[in-house]
Structure 1
């Protein structure tokens, strides 16, 4: 007699055990009971849908990527309401990495979502933060193992900056806000109701695109393959991180403590958007990142600008001059040695770069940019170089709160993107030395009165840490196999890029000997890291199809 299907064995036992032991804090009650009840309904629906195929699915023949895409599409069209409801309930849980209580609720919710699919799940703890959620699903016929990486934490939020004022209350709109999209109700209220969601509709919420929707897309693709009796071509593992937006300070240490779980042949990261042309994207590298804060000082307290202006040094002016000295008019960084350690692109990477779409003029029109930086280079060329960005400035007050004062200090927050060959600490040291060469007394603490009296220019420079860039060779057999599957699944429309401009801590997996490749699915205009973050549903649906094709057909 064949063994009982794994999902059907796990769902009742684990959910029953969880229902007896889990307790929600009062702060979580607003959405907790509703979320739990709805999730159980979803779990039940998934179990009913999957039960016939789990016992026999592994005996079916392997489909082509196009056949897997069609199977996932048919399943999705019958289950859109359930899929969107699962995503919306996940988005309703606040997920700032430093919000310990809520980030751990996210992890507990993920455990339920994974176990509902029969995925063996473990929490890899991190003190005071959300754990790394690890899952494993073995396919008897598979000879290769693929790890899927995503993160479930999100960027900090300012509710006042969001159009709807509530980043953790998902809102459905008929189009992008910039295109006049109006709020509309989520369709299909009944558990069994068939919904019809337009591809151009968008869900607005923190982490709608970065990174909760790819997690749900993967699980929905898994549901679809099982419902259609399509076997997995690979063993699947998942690593879901809860502090990526905080710089992943504990991920490497946590994974090194659990190396026994990480045996695999490939890691796929879901982080990032598709290409700016709207076409699907496969990328093979990402930039590293460091953060630093610079504070320049004036008088020990803000002074009346009429009484002290022209005499008291203005730190906002001093900081502005310092920042302006870091770049020329074309955006070229003027810090000594800034570009010296860049590893040149290989021939395969240069060829892929040359084949990428020419869409800079479209982006300039869309974003209202009359003249880009870069001295005539294309965007795809510039993201292969290191960059220096002022991500925030603050000094005294503006707008209705403006005061006629000489400020006591001015602060800037910078992020610096690194490419292959560059060391994070060395990059920070270059910037710190540049600041000293501009005549500043550079320190890492609040200046004492003695230091203020002795030095005309003082800059507190704080290194926030960071990590290096990482890249996988594009000519590896696994690289070519994955590209073929995704291209077949998207009818040849996929953009193949040597690297993404953003940063993800993939160097950790590179150090573990794992090749990694990026397959993002969300729309490029998703307001990632900003207010009004959103997910275009058409990209969400297509992402499910791509992940379904990978799970069903990847082989090398």
Structure 2
């Protein structure tokens, strides 16, 4: 033993030199380090590639460009040696699918993201061009501005770049990898489950990693185990058949805008609690481990109030993360008559509101729609589902047309203590250090469709910044979130 020790004993200077020589090799053995090295070396090139992807319009009203996005993404996979194809149904945007099969792999990991984006109004964007990416420094951070910069092309690009980083560092994949990139998430994913059902042999995995949404407002990486469900109602109330002079007929002809304001005001109290009967019935309680995770999560309310210029919040003092785990009722928009320079002294013929209902586990979207409709009926309205006739309007003092959105889905929550959940947490911690664990995210993703079709569990690992103007004008992504996201995706790709 002494002879062996003597044979390997080296002077300190020699050891230091040896470690310096081995350092790149040692760094390359860790996926997050390989990702950091790769992005640091290729930032200018990667930024141009990301800009090229963002420059392709991707709104639902433009199916030709949605197909162009799908074709480009499939080609990006093909260039990386990934077996790729488009999964399609007539009249629906394609799902971009890719697979990497690893000989002897015991597990399959599926990465989900979406390439479609919200509608745009160019005049609301600085520069007037949502699909001409621009890099600006704001609040000390470099950001790229374009539709889908944060929601959700960033995740797709981070996954592709992570693949490149692992291959350059000669880090082998241990699990089978699948990519499922959807083209109609922002439209409610009406065809996703049908497409997945038709391709069950391709899309099954031990876990689906849903790469959508923002990280915690503190900037810490989050791992989220569920998402709220989502459904919508459009409510239209009726006054005179055509606009009437407000001087000649005011105080006599009912004003549908005022009626709608009164109806909506009755749905919530001044603290934001929904007053629709049974609205909160059926909520599945959080488990002990989920409550513990919420208790440990950062409390960002004061910072957010300052950032959003809010003098008060709803919820009677409850924290944001607590309220996210409750169902909500939001007015997305109101429309009646005209305002500003186009305002006219008339009683408008109709008033319309779009209502957004977010759901939590235990509440069915059809039942929640019906609860709101029953409330409207209780206020004296005759409910119709199509444009009312003259006879219907004359026969009833109050008529409400309520259109139910069928592109709806329920909330889903994955248990935090599953073995695969713990593996995901460890992988993300390897890349990002301490992470924030949340039982539910505020936004909605069709997790139920994924879980039913793929017979699996879903876990959400977002990478975008919270202040990315998601769904709004001047959507952006902090570039550091992109580089961090590449490291996170690399660690997840290397999972066993």
TM-score, length-scaled by structure 2: 0.93
User: Could you list the per-position Cα deviations for residues 438-466 of structure 1 after superposition, in whole angstroms to 9, with x for gaps in the alignment?
Assistant: 11111111111111111121110000121
Tell me whether 1:216 sits opposite 2:142 in the alignment: no
Pick from 437, 442, 445: which aligns with 1:496? 437
Q: Provide the residue aligned with 2:260 in structure 1.
A: 319
Q: Deviations over 1:304-358 (max 9, x none)?
A: 1111111111000000000000001111111111111111111111111111101
Moved over 4 A (4+): 62-66
1:477 has 2:477 as partner:
no
Rounded to whole Å, the distance in 1 between the matches of 2:289 and 2:336 is 47
| Inter-CA distance 309–258: structure 2 relative to 1 (3 Å threshold) | same
Q: d(CA) in 2 for partners of 1:450 and 1:210?
A: 47
Question: 1:267 & 1:222 partners in 2: Cα distance?
Answer: 17
Aligned to 1:20: none
Question: Is the Cα contact below 8 Å between 1:66 and 1:549 reproduced in 2?
Answer: no
CA deviations over 1:59-105 (Å, ceiling 9, x no partner): xxx98999322211111111112211111111111111232111111
Check the 8 A contact 1:281/1:496 in 2, yes or no.
yes
Q: Residue 481 of structure 2: SS of its match in structure 1?
A: helix
TM-fit CA distance, 1:263: 2.6
Map of 2:22 onto structure 1: none
How far the C-alpha of 1:139 sits from its partner, in A, is: 2.5
1:370-421 per-residue CA deviation (whole Å, 9 max, x = no partner) reads 1110011110000000000001011111111111111111110011000001
Q: How large is the Cα RMSD of the aligned pairs?
A: 1.5
Equivalences for 1:358-437 in 2 at 5 Å? 358-437=299-378
1:234 aligns with 2:178: no
Bigger RCO (CA 8 Å, 6+ sep): 2
Structure 1 counterpart of 2:30, from 64, 67, 87: 67
Match of 1:55 in 2: none
**1:549 alignment counterpart:** 491
* Structure 1 residue runs without a partner (length 5+): 1-61, 180-198
SS in 2 for 1:113: helix
Aligned residue pairs total: 470
The one of 141, 147, 152 equivalent to 2:115 is 152
Note if 1:445 corresponds to 2:386. Answer: yes
Corresponding residue of 1:204: 145
Name stretches of at least 5 consecutive residues in structure 2 with no aligned partner: 1-24
- Cα separation, 2, equivalents of 1:478 and 1:336: 39
Instruction: Tell me which residue corresponds to 2:9.
Output: none
Using the alignment, how far apart are the partners of 2:27 and 2:491 within structure 1? 8
Q: State the alpha-carbon separation in 1 of the partners of residues 49 and 97 from structure 2.
A: 20
- Which residue pairs with 1:265 in the alignment? 206
Please tell me whether the aligned partners of residues 151 and 241 of structure 1 are also in contact (alpha carbons under 8 angstroms).
yes
Q: Are 1:103 and 1:129, in contact at CA under 8 Å, matched by a contact in 2?
A: no
Partner of 2:223: 282
TM-score normalized with structure 1 length: 0.83
Question: Which secondary structure state, in structure 2, belongs to the residue aligned with residue 310 of structure 1?
Answer: coil
Q: Measure the CA separation in 1 of the matches of 2:174 and 2:222.
A: 22
* CA distance, structure 2, for counterparts of residue 403 and residue 526 of structure 1: 37
Distance 1:72 1:433 in 2: 54
Q: Which residue number in structure 1 is paired with residue 462 of structure 2?
A: 520
2:70 matches 1:122:
no
Partner Cα distance (1:482, 1:254) in 2: 27
Mapped partners of 1:301, 1:174: distance in 2: 50
Does structure 1 retain, via aligned residues, the 8 Å contact 2:159–2:490?
yes
Q: Are residue 310 (structure 1) and residue 270 (structure 2) matched?
A: no
Q: CA separation in 2, counterparts of 1:65 and 1:365?
A: 42
**CA distance in 2 between partners of 1:315 and 1:491 (Å):** 55
Q: How does 1:54-133 map to 2 (within 5 A)?
A: 67-133=30-96
CA shift for structure 1 position 488: 2.4
1:172 aligns with 2:113: no
- Equivalent residue for 1:463? 404
- Following the alignment from structure 2 to structure 1, what is the Cα–Cα distance between the partners of residues 318 and 72? 45
Contact 1:66/1:488 (CA < 8 Å) preserved in 2?
A: no
Q: CA–CA distance in 1 between the matches of 2:247 and 2:268? A: 33
